[in-house]
Structure 1
Amino acid sequence: MDDVPTSPRLTFRRMHAADVDAMARLLGDPAVMVHYPRPKTRDEAADWIAWSERNYARDGFGLWMLHDRAGEFVGECGLTWQRVDGEEYLEVGYHLLPEHQGKGLATEAAAACRDFARTRGIGRLVAIIVPDNHPSKRVAQRIGLVLDRESVTSKGAPIHVYAADL
C-alpha cells in the first residue's frame, strides 16, 4: 500500500503512466488551466506523471490522483518541492475537474496533504498562487496558510506565496 494522505470523501493514490487519459483530461481543460500559460498537451500530461513518479522515488511523496469514494476521478493534489526566490519550499498544489469544484474537495485534499507533510517533519508549507486565482487563495487560507510575500517566477510572472509553519 502506498503511503498517501487520507480524507473523509477522497482517496489518494500515486500516479502511473496508465493515468495519462485522466491527467490529459484534467491538465488539458482550459477552465482548470486558466491560471497557466495554456492547457497542457497529452505529451505534457505524460511528462507531468513522469515528474510525479520521480518525486515519489526521491521524496516518498508527490502529486496524487484524487478519486471520490465512489471511484470517480476528481483531480490531483499533493506536495512538491518548488524554488521561490532562490530557496526550496514544499508546496501543496491542487487541480480539480470543473464539475468537482466548489464542493470543498480541494480544501479537504489540501488539508490532508498539509497534515501528511506535518507528520513527516516538514517545518513549512507554501502555496504558490497567481494573484488573480482567488479560489486557490481561499483554499490556501482555509488550510491555515497566509500571504507571506509577493514575488515573481523565474520567467518574471507575478506570484503570491502563501505559507505557514507546521
Structure 2
Amino acid sequence: MIPAPTERLRFREMEEADLDAMAALLGDPEVMRFYPAPKTRDEALEWIRWSRRGYAEHGHGLWVLETHEGEFVGDCGLTWQPVGGAQVLEVGYHVVAALQGRGYATEAARACVELALGAVGESRVVAIVVPDNAPSRRVAEKVGLRVEQEAVVHGRAAVVLGLRS
C-alpha cells in the first residue's frame, strides 16, 4: 500500500540501492538538526531495512519521495511509534535541505495522512515533534494535526500532534 502520487511527487518503496541517497539525507546535519545526531551510512542502511520490515509487517513504512521526473526529495511515510505505553501510527518526513521550504513535506504528509485514515483504516494518525522543531510542527498543522499531548518519546521530550477520522 503506497500513497497515491500528488501533484508534484510520487512514492515508492525504499531499497538497499537507495543507500547513497538515504545516507546523504540522514547524514546531513541540517536535515537532522532536531535529532540527537546525523545518521552514519550503516544507520541509514538500517533505516532502509526498518522501513522494509514495516512494508512486510504492516503494509506501510517510510517511502522514498521523489518528483515525477525522478529527482530524490527525501522520505515520508507511516510508522508505528511508542507513545505513553501505546503504539501510535506516526506520519514522518525528511526533505533534502536544498529542497526544503517548497511545500514538499506538506504535500507528502497530506497524502500519507489520507492513506492512514482511508485505505489503511486507522482512526488516528500523529506526528511526533521535538518542541523546538517549528518547521515540522508547521507541516503537521498544515495537514490538520493538532496538539494532543506532551510526552517523552525515545527518551526525548516531544509534542504529539494528532488527527482522528
* TMscore range, shorter length: over 0.9
Task: In structure 1, list runs of 5 or more residues that go unmatched.
Answer: none
Match of 2:162 in 1: 163
What TM-score comes out, normalization by structure 1 length? 0.96
Q: Which moved more, 1:145-154 or 1:77-86?
A: 145-154
Look up the match of 2:105: 106
Separation in 2 of the partners of 1:15 and 1:153?
25
SS at match of 2:2: coil
2:139 is matched with: 139
Q: Give the whole-Å Cα distance in 2 for the aligned partners of 1:154 and 1:26.
A: 21
User: Per-residue CA shift, 1:120-154, capped at 9, x if unaligned?
Assistant: 21100000000000000000000000000111124
Alignment of 1:118 with 2:117, yes or no, is yes
Indicate whether 1:55 and 2:54 are aligned.
Answer: yes
- 1:16 maps to 15
Q: Which one-letter code corresponds to 2:39 in the other structure?
A: K
Secondary structure, counterpart of 1:79 in structure 2: strand
Q: Which residue of 1 aligns with 2:84?
A: 85
Q: Deviations over 1:69-90 (max 9, x none)?
A: 2210010000000010101100
Superposed counterparts of 1:17-32, under 5 Å: 17-32=16-31
User: AA paired with 2:125?
Assistant: L
Counterpart of 2:65? 66
Structure 2: stretches of 5+ with no match in the other structure? none
SS at match of 2:38: coil
What aligned pairs does 1:29-40 form with structure 2 within 5 A after superposition? 29-40=28-39
In the alignment, is residue 150 of structure 1 matched against residue 135 of structure 2? no
Task: Classify the secondary structure of the residue corresponding to 1:70.
Answer: coil
Q: CA RMSD, aligned part only?
A: 0.8
3-state SS of 1:18 partner: helix
Q: How many residues align?
A: 163
Tell me how far apart the structure 1 counterparts of residues 2 and 152 of structure 2 sit (CA, whole Å): 31
